[in-house]
Structure 1
Amino acid sequence: MPTNLNPYISFRSNAREALAFYSTVLGAEAVTSTFGEGGMSQSPADADLIMHGQITSPSGLVLMAADTPEHMEWTPGGSIAVSISGDDLAELTGYWEKLSDGATITAPFATAPWGDTFGMLVDKFGVSWLINASAPAAG
């Protein structure tokens, strides 16, 4: 098995909703476990929160997420962005269009000065995304 780097996004009580949204973006079901199921809830309010959630897309993209219980420190959005890149413009355009629902577009998905199709947005959950579709190779 290769070593992988997977984004892991923290939420405050809405990881289930975010994972459902990202499932539609990536085209795969989220697998989740709660703090209650894992025997890790420190209060009854934590029991139904997502302790770990994971989506693995048909093309192998992995996104992980969890709720941060109230007793733990949490900063929305932090200083991380999730980047999806590749050469399948149709696939990447699909991700862009779905992530754009309720998002703030910080750079439109358009031809960039370096020739690729690129865009940036902050989705409705406050997560920053960068989407880059490589320009076709000159032949």
Structure 2
Amino acid sequence: MLAARQGIGPADDPKGTAMSITTTTHLNFRGTARSALQLYASAFGGSVTVSTYGDLGMPSDAPDADRIVFGQVENEDGFRIMAYDIPGTDVDPVATAGTTRREHGTTITDRSFFQSARGQSLEEVLAIWERLAEGADIIEPLAASAWSPGFGMLTDRFGVTWVLDVQPGAAA
């Protein structure tokens, strides 16, 4: 922790040790984690793994026993996203998602984060876009931009805002 507080990064580490930390987005849902994970598996490929509160000891007759306490989608290419259901909540995710819009080429939002996915080709990104766009609010249609052969933004039907684009310099 001392190295991080002093601004010393892995390249400055006198021992030459590589950082072994990875980060994974962990999304919080209000009873829709299983459906969201199934959507993301259909869009990105991979398998869904889930454990319910009941699997981990909550009495089976408890209201949240069948909800997801740990869930993830992981594919062979390294995509991974995690999710769980917040116990005791049934609020519509879209109502609590905040708002995001594009104005004059800029993004205006009150959200604290977006989920970004970047592909190597327009074909790859378009296939993901088509699945995520089902029931979504399209913020910026997927199209060529000044920096990418394909860029678009949407808020999926579970309230997650995605930024999808093609790696700059990649073939369209």
Same fold by TM-score greater than 0.5: yes
State the match for 1:23 in structure 2. 41
The within-5 A match list for 1:109-120 is 109-120=142-153
Cα deviation for residue 61 of structure 1 reads 0.5
The residue type equivalent to 1:122 in the other structure is: T
Q: Which runs of 5+ in 2 are unaligned?
A: 1-18, 98-110
Partners of 1:103 and 1:97 in 2: CA distance: 10
Partner deviation per Cα, 1:72-110 (whole Å, 9 max, x = no partner): xxx743532110013232221111111011111100111
Q: Which moved more, 1:109-118 or 1:129-138?
A: 129-138
State the match for 1:5 in structure 2. 23
- Highest RCO, 1 vs 2 (Cα 8 Å, sep ≥ 6): 1
State the match for 2:78 in structure 1. 60
1:124 aligns with 2:157: yes
CA distance 1:88–1:115, shift in 2 (3 Å):
closer
The residue type equivalent to 1:87 in the other structure is: Q
State the match for 2:8 in structure 1. none
State the match for 2:135 in structure 1. 102
Give the TM-score of the pair, scaled to structure 2.
Answer: 0.70
- Secondary structure (helix, strand or coil) at the match of 2:41 reads helix
Give the TM-score of the pair, scaled to structure 1.
Answer: 0.85
Q: Which has the larger radius of gyration?
A: 2
CA distance 1:115–1:25, shift in 2 (3 Å):
closer
State the match for 1:51 in structure 2. 69
Out of 120, 127, 133, the residue aligned to residue 166 of structure 2 is 133
The residue type equivalent to 2:142 in the other structure is: F
Q: Which moved more, 1:108-117 or 1:62-71?
A: 108-117
Partners of 2:63 and 2:76 in 1: CA distance: 34
Percent identical pairs in the alignment equals 37
For these two proteins, the number of residue pairs brought into alignment is: 138
Partners of 1:35 and 1:131 in 2: CA distance: 32
Pairwise CA RMSD: 2.7
- Secondary structure (helix, strand or coil) at the match of 1:48 reads coil
Q: Which runs of 5+ in 1 are unaligned?
A: none
